[in-house]
Structure 1
Amino acid sequence: MKLAKPLLTAALVVALPFTAFTQSAQAAMIGVEQMQAASRSADGDAARAQVLEALSRADVVAELERQGVSPEAARERVAALSDADAKRLAEQVDKAPAGGIIGAILLVFFVLLLTDILGLTKVFPFTRSIR
């Protein structure tokens, strides 16, 4: 106890002058527009432009409408993306295969063919079950 009191006093003597150097902080509400304007960069704008260019293709517009999404709503959503999300989406657009539907059809065909051969389904008449 005798040692604790002088140590506490010394610590307070050293810390007390530093309390004058503290800065006050001020918080205020900011709007969404200010936040979006501050978070946008040139790379993000380029990525958004690339995604919007892909959205303007006729086949993409037809697929959006088939799924019940208006092209205007899709453009608004792309405009509201953050830079990181826009870049990620632009990379996915670049990597997407041009004939993705053909690959999906082939995958379904081979799955059904395999299930026919295993005797789980009977879709194709040209297969014989192993059961």
Structure 2
Amino acid sequence: MKQKLFAWIALLGFFGSVTLPAQAAMISTPDVIQSQQSQYDREQLFSMLDRDDVQEKLVSMGVAPELVQERINSMTDFEIAQLNQQINDMPAGGILGVIVLIFVVFVITDAIGATDIFPFVRPVR
């Protein structure tokens, strides 16, 4: 009786242990670099927006800092890279230009109806 029970348990254990095929692929160096670069670009942009003078300017323009962070999170890696490139090309003290650029992006997204941040912008529907 014990042998039959052990045989059934072993048989059920054998059939119960189904292994699924695993797939592995090589990750190219450019893919890893691009992933790391996009993460670095986002962190750089967030650190710039964490500055007190930038947040004061955004609030004075009627934009909540949480909305800016939410909008940056929804931007693609290419858009983030372009924005950081524009920031790096600006002369020192050009932070006002970045704020104006972000403001213009928000106004455009309001105008096309993608967001509703500013009450004075009417969507083009």
Structure 2 length-normalised TM: 0.45
Greater radius of gyration (CA): 1
